[in-house]
Structure 1
Amino acid sequence: MSPRSPSPSSTDGKDYSQELQDFVADLAQLPERESVASEIEVLQSIYGDDAVRIWHPPAKETNHRPHNGNNDDETVRYEVLLSLPSPHEDISVRVLVSLPPTYPASTPPQLQLLSRYIGAFGADANLFGSILRTYISINGVEWSSDSVCVFDGLQNVLERCTGWYEEKLSAEKAGELLREDEREDAIHTRTSSTPTTKAQDSDDENLPSSHESKTPPSAIPAGIVIHTAEPITDRKSAFVGRACQISNPSEVPLILSHLMSDRRIARAAHPIINAWRCQVGALIHQDNDDDGETAAGGRLAHLLQILEVNNVLVIVTRYFGGVHLGPDRFKHINQAARNALELGGFLDAADTKKNTGRGKKH
């Protein structure tokens, strides 16, 4: 369980597994609740005996009255502990399940996120609200009368929480990349402005970083503006999309050389995966380069074709984080490229025009 998530009350040393077992046995004696009892047993077999517990509200809400999973309106309440899928299996969330007396005959369950934190991130109102709407949202779980559906709802919650958590991790990783770039820029600026002796220059020839700090960036064709989208991160890999307008195929190698003169780009596993299309007169010129990422350039070229974008060069830089992503890497490469095209205003969608100029410019 996440160390910052609230834990079920256990100060009285009660055997919660036995408590639930007794409660399920009582439910099974009621014809209208037999399916509820069976469903709880199935959830225990899936998630584990200790993952399902009768819900005990805080003492201040019960006025010190006994509570056995039902309240005055006969609503059954229990909580389920869910672990996020790999590689986040050490992160858990708690979900409250409320079953009205008319479930499953004519009313769906209600799910509520009990965990205030998922990992190190505080759960926000949007996540809480989306889970509350699990059975009434168009993006939620379909419910039909006389059908038990708590498991489907819990899996939907698990997917939402996992997606939310990975977005938070990606945003955090992107922030780290940007801060690292800023630190390196500051170091590079100080190094470039500090006079060095001849002896120092001689010693530094063996250090790649010194060579990089002395190498002036390659010239970029006049009028070229490179739009850089925010990084996409997944399992420690990062994908950065860039796009710029070109007017002649001869500009492409100059732009790529300019990017490779940036040590932060050059150090990537695949620094300049690219594709371009350029119309000169009545002819369309086009090409692409995988830069070592097999078939990636061709996929970018296909993206430009289906978007019908001309006079554009799109580049994706991939930083490998040590974990192989499989086919997911192509999805991220295409998305990084599309983000850069949107950022630069190269797509026709009206809602992308307002994003022009938000990225960094080289």
Structure 2
Amino acid sequence: MSDELADEVEAINSIYGPNTLIPYTDQASNPQSPIYILTFPKPEEDAATSTPFTASLRLHFPPSYPSDPLTILGVHSSGSHSKPGAAVRDLNLFSAAVGDVYEPGQVCLFDAIEKVKELLLQDTTAAAADVEEEDTPDEVPSSPTTTEEKEPPWTLSSPVVELKSTFIARCASVSSPAQAASYLQHLLSNDKKVRAATHNITAWRIHGPNGTSFQDCDDDGETAAGGRLLHLMQLMDLWDTMVVVTRWYGGQKLGPRRFAVINAAARDAFVNAGLVPGVGNEAVSSKKKSHGHHGK
């Protein structure tokens, strides 16, 4: 197994739960070319419109992964409460997601999982809108959706694993401190994995009216990390932007190294969002967005 795959397995299980990606033990597989079972994360308990991804899938990773793509061998389990055809739907969704996000030399499972969540959200939102349109009389206007109720336009970094701690950064454009605060609150309220993380370090810089400006940060228990994150934004001359770096602590202290990892994850999110001048389109084309979705 390559180091990249080992780190990816660790990151996926840190983010989505310890049994999300496990070895397929019912066969004597080549450890250099393993087969894993991916049990897709269940929808958030408070996401009433979520459509559950019911199947678990068998994935084969060649020795050359991630230089060469993984292979989806098929459905491992269709789930005890799945509807007819749901397993095939889930298999097709994940296959399409892998095909969309995979780039040679880059691990892709995190991006593929997030892509499937995006596709499921689009499908269920459309279905809910159809039901609402059918059930709502023409004379009763529907309530408008406020900006705060909508999913913030997050752009995500790739997961970074360092001594079993996992880090993910997400950034978004913001126009006021109140909006930045509402985006953070939305994230913590709607993503229980992020809410349960050890730290959610935040920084933002915003141009205000009449030449005013606002900038602030929050360590969230990771002493001095917020200030260093804000300093990175100052060095990069980023404005009207916020960033949240989430850390799931892995049990081993990183010491001062953690600050470099936190800033590297943040910079990756900024690059994916197209905020770093001089970076080629190949980085921007791998942009990862969440449409809802790691020392001491």
TM category (shorter chain) comes to 0.5 to 0.7
Residue 341 of structure 1 pairs with residue 270 of structure 2: yes
Residue 290 of structure 1 pairs with residue 219 of structure 2: yes
Q: In the alignment, what sits opposite 1:257?
A: 185
TM-score (norm 1): 0.43
- 1:36-70 CA deviation, whole Å, 9 max, x = no partner? xxxxxxxxxxxxxxxxxxxxxxxxxxxxxxxxxxx
1:355 offset after TM fit, Å? 3.0
Residue 245 of structure 1 pairs with residue 173 of structure 2: yes
Residue 185 of structure 1 pairs with residue 42 of structure 2: yes
**For the structure 1 residues 279 and 223, does the alpha-carbon distance in structure 2 shift closer, same or farther, using more than 3 Å as the test?**
farther
SS of structure 2 residue aligned to 1:325: coil
Q: In the alignment, what sits opposite 2:9?
A: 172
CA distance in 1 between counterparts of 2:196 and 2:204 reads 23
- Counterparts of 1:280-319 in structure 2, within 5 Å, are 280-281=208-209, 282-319=211-248
1:361 offset after TM fit, Å? 3.1
Aligned with 1:324 (options 239, 253, 261) = 253
Q: Does the CA-based 8 Å contact 2:152-2:291 persist in structure 1?
A: no
Aligned with 1:220 (options 114, 136, 148) = 148
Residue 354 of structure 1 pairs with residue 284 of structure 2: yes
Post-superposition, which runs of at least 4 consecutive aligned residues in structure 1 deviate over 6 A? 189-194
The code of the aligned residue for 2:187 comes to L
CA distance in 2 between counterparts of 1:351 and 1:192 reads 36
SS of structure 2 residue aligned to 1:349: coil
The code of the aligned residue for 1:355 comes to S
Q: RMSD across aligned C-alpha pairs, in angstroms? A: 3.0
Q: In the alignment, what sits opposite 1:279?
A: 207
The code of the aligned residue for 2:206 comes to C
The code of the aligned residue for 2:253 comes to H
Q: In the alignment, what sits opposite 2:128?
A: none
**For the structure 1 residues 186 and 351, does the alpha-carbon distance in structure 2 shift closer, same or farther, using more than 3 Å as the test?**
same
Identity of aligned residues (%): 33
CA distance in 2 between counterparts of 1:187 and 1:284 reads 36
CA distance in 1 between counterparts of 2:148 and 2:42 reads 20
The code of the aligned residue for 2:226 comes to G
Name which one, 1 or 2, has greater alpha-carbon Rg: 1
CA distance in 2 between counterparts of 1:310 and 1:179 reads 32
CA distance in 2 between counterparts of 1:190 and 1:275 reads 30
SS of structure 2 residue aligned to 1:220: helix
SS of structure 1 residue aligned to 2:239: coil
Structure 2 segments unaligned to the other structure (5+ residues): 21-38, 53-145
SS of structure 2 residue aligned to 1:239: strand
1:223 offset after TM fit, Å? 7.9
The code of the aligned residue for 1:268 comes to A
TM-score (norm 2): 0.52
Q: Does the CA-based 8 Å contact 2:154-2:291 persist in structure 1?
A: yes
The code of the aligned residue for 1:170 comes to D
Q: In the alignment, what sits opposite 1:133?
A: none
Structure 1 segments unaligned to the other structure (5+ residues): 1-119, 122-164, 195-217
**For the structure 1 residues 177 and 298, does the alpha-carbon distance in structure 2 shift closer, same or farther, using more than 3 Å as the test?**
same
Q: Does the CA-based 8 Å contact 1:228-1:242 persist in structure 2?
A: yes
1:314 offset after TM fit, Å? 0.5
State the structure with bigger RCO (CA 8 A, min sep 6), 1 or 2. 2
CA distance in 1 between counterparts of 2:50 and 2:274 reads 35
SS of structure 2 residue aligned to 1:329: helix
**For the structure 1 residues 264 and 278, does the alpha-carbon distance in structure 2 shift closer, same or farther, using more than 3 Å as the test?**
same
Q: In the alignment, what sits opposite 2:117?
A: none
